[in-house]
Amino acid sequence: MARIAIIGLGYIGGSIGLGLRAAKLRDTEIVGFDDWRSARRAAGKQDAVDEIAGSPREAVDGAGLVILATPPASTSELLEEIAPALGRGAAVTDTAASKVKIEEWAGNHLPNGVSFIGGHPMAGDASAFGIDNASGDLFRGKRWFLSPSPNASDSAVKSVLGMVRELGASPHFLSSAEHDYVLAGVSHLPLVVSSALFTMLRGSEGWPDFGRAAGETFRSMTAYNSGDPSMTTEIAITNREQVQHWIDRFVLELNRVRNLLDEEEEEVFKEYSTAQINHAKFLGGDDLDPDTGAQPELPDATSQMAALLISPRLYERVRSMTKRSEEKEKEREARGRRWGRG
């Protein structure tokens, strides 16, 4: 009989349990534990696990695969607590949104012969909580980052990979450092920005005027404030350096835009139409090839891309702008040649 242990039976842990139970794995029992009695009770009622253990240690005892789905900040303690009960060859994974710190903790606490493979399912609806909202289909079609520790065994990696596939998610391997760098830019920074935007205006003198004037743009750009503040806090704390790195870069970017607004209208338009073209390509998934350069090309008027530009008026404007830039470029080149440069 194989044994899978899930520690933490909330939205994510509960969904993993439900998904694995629905997969009807042969000769496998799924044991769960949660600090909170109400979560344990709900997990039992929903059949999210086969059995509820009396403690984390009891849950992992004899388990080949251990899944930690608890708040990241508690992971270090939890690893320390379960370490003595883990059997040789066991695979331990987690579900936190940052990976370097947790890999470090695993290195500190796990005994030899136990493999840690960091995991991060990209499935969280930031405003969904608890096992009551859990679903076995939560991860279907979603990306699941995996960051195996350098000394993780092949069989342990395969065991975690198998779980990800059973849940219908698509595994994506990144080292923990890469993961934290990339995710800080693409996920943690946007969360911080969404919160800062709200907090700044909420703290402004005359906030009621701002709040009353707020339309869709403000509401949607600040929507991430309704997420679990523990999650945002833990992301910010466990991935601090990377988040700070991206805040610094974003401040530079905002200052660039601030200066750009002093330029001629043509330059400002170039900024926003370039962003629109690149964004449409991004949504279409066709600029994610590593060979793509950073410079956008103006699509042909008859192409699908052109249709994304929506208005013919706009298309004309982008085209004439592109032409003007090309002419200026040629002029510059010609001048360069005349002066013996270029």
Q: Are 40 and 52 in contact (CB under 8 A)?
A: yes
Minimum separation from the CB atom of position 40 to its own copies (A): 13
Minimum separation from the CB atom of position 167 to its own copies (A): 16
d(CA 175, CA 148): 7
Is the CB of 153 or the CB of 244 nearer to its own copies? 244
d(CA 174, CA 119): 10
Minimum separation from the CB atom of position 68 to its own copies (A): 17
Is the CB of 23 or the CB of 236 nearer to its own copies? 236
End-to-end CA gap in the chain:
73
Is the CB of 102 or the CB of 110 nearer to its own copies? 102
d(CA 86, CA 81): 10
DSSP assignment of 71-114:
-GGGHHHHHHHHGGGPPTT-EEEE--S--HHHHHHHHHHSPTT-
DSSP assignment of 292-307:
--SS--PPPTTSHHHH
Minimum separation from the CB atom of position 253 to its own copies (A): 4
Q: How many CB atoms lie within 10 A of CB 131?
A: 27
Is the CB of 89 or the CB of 207 nearer to its own copies? 207
Is the CB of 113 or the CB of 284 nearer to its own copies? 284
Q: Are 321 and 296 in contact (CB under 8 A)?
A: no
Give the side-chain half-sphere CA count within 13 A for 293.
3
Is the CB of 216 or the CB of 300 nearer to its own copies? 216
- The interaxial angle of helices 189-202 and 229-238, nearest 10 deg, is 120
Minimum separation from the CB atom of position 87 to its own copies (A): 31
Minimum separation from the CB atom of position 159 to its own copies (A): 24
Is the CB of 130 or the CB of 168 nearer to its own copies? 130
Minimum separation from the CB atom of position 37 to its own copies (A): 11
3-state SS, residue 217:
helix
β-pairing, 143-148 vs 51-52, is: unpaired
Is the CB of 279 or the CB of 328 nearer to its own copies? 279
3-state SS, residue 224:
helix
Residue 297 DSSP one-character state: -
| Token pair in block for residue 85 | 């009960």
Residue (of 19, 4, 94, 11) closest to 51 by Cα position:
4
Minimum separation from the CB atom of position 70 to its own copies (A): 11
